[in-house]
Chains A and B, each alone.
Chain A
Amino acid sequence: MSTDPGAAPGGGTGDQPGMTLGSGLGLGPQQAGSFGTTGRGPRLLSGGGRKATIVSTISTLVVLGAIGAVFWLAPGSAAFRHAFFSPSNMWQAFIGDPKKGYYSVGEAIWLNIRMFLAAEVLILILSLVIALIRQSTGPVLFPLRVLAMVYVDFFRGVPLLLVVYAVGLGVPALRLPVISYQSSTIYGIAVLTLSYSAYVSEVYRAGLNSVHQSQVAAARSLGLSQWSALRYVILPQAIRNIVPPLLNDFISLQKDTALVGVLGAIEALQAADIYASAVFNYSSFTVAAILFLVLTIPLARFTDRLIERDRRRRLAGVLR
C-alpha cells in the first residue's frame, strides 16, 4: 500500500494517541481508525467519540480513494476491469450454464462448505487423539508418542497442495479395494483432515498445558480416574482456552478446501477456472473470491467477538 501515513488526518491530531500509535506501527490508518470491531484492544486504539468517528471516516475514504484511483487511472484499467469485474460475466459464472460447458460457481461453493464441515468434525476428533497421545506419560505408549510426533512434524512440514496430489493421485494408483475407488471429494476431505489435524493437535496441546497441574491433583485426589479427570475437569477448561485459535485454523481451512479442485472436484475455484478457460474472462475468479470472503468473514468476526468476551471475562476476574 502506497499511502503515506502523514496524509492520514488521524496522524496529526495530538489528542488521539491511538491514531498516532496505529500509524507508528505501520498499520494503515483505516485499520487503526474505523474498524473498531476487530477486537484489537478497542480501549487502547479508540479516540474520543464523534470527532474520532469523523476523522476515521475521512481517513478511510482517503485510503480507499487512493486504492481506487490506482485501478481506475492505470493505463490498462479498462481491459483489467473487463477481465476481472465484468458484471455480465460475473453473473454468468455465478449461475453457470452446463450447455455452454461451465458450472455455476455459486453452486460449486456448496461443495467447499460440505468438505469444510466434514473435515472440521474429523479434525476435531483426530487432533484430540493425537494431542492426548503426545501428552501421555506412560512408557507403554512411547512408540505411539514417537509416531504422533513424526505425524505432526510431517504434515506441518509438507505443503498441503503436495499432500493433495500425493493422496489424490497416489491412492487410486494403488488399486486397493474400496480405498482406491473413492471420489476426489473424499480424498480432499481426507487430506484436509490429515494435514489440519497436525496443526490443531498442537492447539489442543497448548490448551491442555494451559490448565494448571493443581487441577489434575484436585481431580485425582477426589478419586476420579484419569479418564474422568480429563473428561470433566481438564478438557472443558482446555477447550475454553483454545476456541479462538481453533476458529482461526478453521477460517484457514474454509479456503484451503479450494485446493481439492486440482483433483477435479468441481468446487468453487475449479468451477471458476473452467469458466475462465471457456469464456476467456476472469470475472469468475472474482465471484469465487467474493464467495470465500462471504464464508470466512463472519467466522473471523465471530472469533473476534469470542476473544473480546474472553478478554473482558479475564479482566473482570482480576478485578474481583
Chain B
Amino acid sequence: MTAGGPVTGEAVLVQDLHKSFGPNEVLRGIDLAVAPHEVVCLIGASGSGKSTLLRCLNLLEPISSGRIFLLGQEVTAPGIDANLVRRKVGIVFQSFNLFPHMTVLRNVTLAPVKALGMPRAEAVAAARDLLARFGLADKQDEYPDRLSGGQQQRVAIVRALAMQPQIMLLDEVTSALDPELVAEVLDLLRELAAGGMTMVIATHEMSFARDVASRVCFLEEGLIIEEGRPADVFTAPRDERTQRFLRRIVEAGRM
C-alpha cells in the first residue's frame, strides 16, 4: 500500500492514517482498502481504535496525518466540503442517536429534505418504502422513546440509508442492545450485505463477522495487526496478539 495518488478502484482507501487526542495517539498508521460491495469487519478490544477509524472516515474527527480516499476522491485534501462527503457515506452509532423530538418518519426524511433538497413528498414515499422493507411500517408515526432498542437501531440504519449512501459505516451497532434484540439488527445488516452495499463494520459479534465479512481486520492499539478472510483469521490466526484476543472471546462464550 504505497501508492501516492488516488486509486479509483477502491471504495475506501486509507493511507498511513494517524489520529491523536492530545498526547494520546489512538490511530498509529492505519492502511486499509475496501473494494466496492465488500464487507469489512473491524474486530479488536474496546479502545483499539475501531470507532475512531470509522469516525475519521466520515470526517467527524479531524485526522492528524495520512490520507483518506472515498470513491476515488481524496477527502482529506484541503477545501473538501465535508457535508458532500457525508451524504455519500452513512454512519450508524452504537447509541442510535435518533432525534428524540421527531417521529420516526421525520427522523428518516429530515436529511434528504434539508441536505439533499429532495421534495418532501418524494422523501416521505422513499422513507415509507425503506421502513416497510425493514418491518417498521407501523412505527413511522411513533417517537423514538416508544420503540425498543432494536427498533430504534433499525430506524437509525434506515435513516442513514435514506440518504442513498454508497458506503455504510457501522460502529458497534448491536453493543447497546439487549441480547434478544441483536438478531433483528444483524439480519438487517445481512440483507444489506446481500444487496451489495459496501460496508465497514466495527463489531464484537464474531459469528456475525464470520458470516457476512468478506474480510476481517484485527486492530490493536491503533494498528491493523492482522487481516484476511474470516475463515483464515478466525481459525488460524497468525499473529500471537490475534490468537490471544480470539482465545479470550471464546472463553467469554462470545463465539
**Co-complex (A, B):** yes
Does the CB pair A223–B97 fall under 8 Å? no
Does the CB pair A237–B101 fall under 8 Å? yes
Stretch at the interface among A1-9, A62-70, A192-200, A224-232: A224-232
Stretch at the interface among A21-29, A213-221, A256-264: A213-221
Does the CB pair A223–B111 fall under 8 Å? yes
Does the CB pair B58–A221 fall under 8 Å? yes
Please classify how large the interface on chain B is, using the bins under 10, 10 to 19, 20 to 34, 35 or more: 20 to 34
In the complex, the number of residue pairs spanning A and B with C-beta atoms less than 8 Å apart equals: 62
Which residues of B have CB within 8 Å of A228? 114-115
Shortest Cβ distance from B96 into A: residue? A218
| A317 lies within 8 A of chain B by Cβ | yes
Bound CA span A254–B114, Å: 38
Stretch at the interface among B5-13, B29-37, B85-93, B187-195: B85-93
A interface list, Cβ under 8 A from B = 214-215, 217-225, 228, 232-233, 236-237, 240, 317, 320
| B50 lies within 8 A of chain A by Cβ | no
Which residues of B have CB within 8 Å of A317? 145
Does the CB pair A223–B101 fall under 8 Å? no
Does the CB pair B60–A222 fall under 8 Å? no
Which residues of B have CB within 8 Å of A225? 83, 115
A223 in contact with B99 given A214-B93, A232-B110 (CB within 8 Å)? no
Shortest Cβ distance from A215 into B: residue? B97
Does the CB pair A240–B101 fall under 8 Å? yes
A222 in contact with B101 given A317-B145, A320-B145 (CB within 8 Å)? no
Which residues of B have CB within 8 Å of A240? 101
A217 in contact with B160 given A222-B110, A222-B111 (CB within 8 Å)? no
Does the CB pair B60–A221 fall under 8 Å? yes
| B105 lies within 8 A of chain A by Cβ | no
| B163 lies within 8 A of chain A by Cβ | yes
A interface secondary structure, majority: helix
* Residues of B69-121 whose CB lies within 8 A of A: 82-84, 86-87, 90-91, 93, 95, 97-101, 110-111, 114-116
| B19 lies within 8 A of chain A by Cβ | no
Which residues of B have CB within 8 Å of A219? 99
Which residues of A have CB within 8 Å of B58? 221
Bound CA span A237–B144, Å: 14
A222 in contact with B84 given A237-B100, A320-B145 (CB within 8 Å)? no
A233 in contact with B115 given A220-B60, A223-B87 (CB within 8 Å)? no
Closest CB in chain A relative to B36 CB, distance in Å: 20
Which residues of B have CB within 8 Å of A218? 93, 97-99
Which residues of A have CB within 8 Å of B110? 222, 224, 232-233
Which residues of B have CB within 8 Å of A237? 99-101
Closest CB in chain A relative to B150 CB, distance in Å: 15
Additional pairs, 9, CB under 8 Å, beyond known A233-B110, A237-B100? A217-B97, A218-B97, A219-B99, A221-B58, A222-B90, A223-B116, A224-B83, A224-B115, A232-B114
Shortest Cβ distance from B87 into A: residue? A223
**A223, A228, A240 — most chain B CB neighbours (10 Å):** A223
Does the CB pair A215–B60 fall under 8 Å? no
Contact partner, B99, options A215, A220, A221, Cβ 8 Å: A215
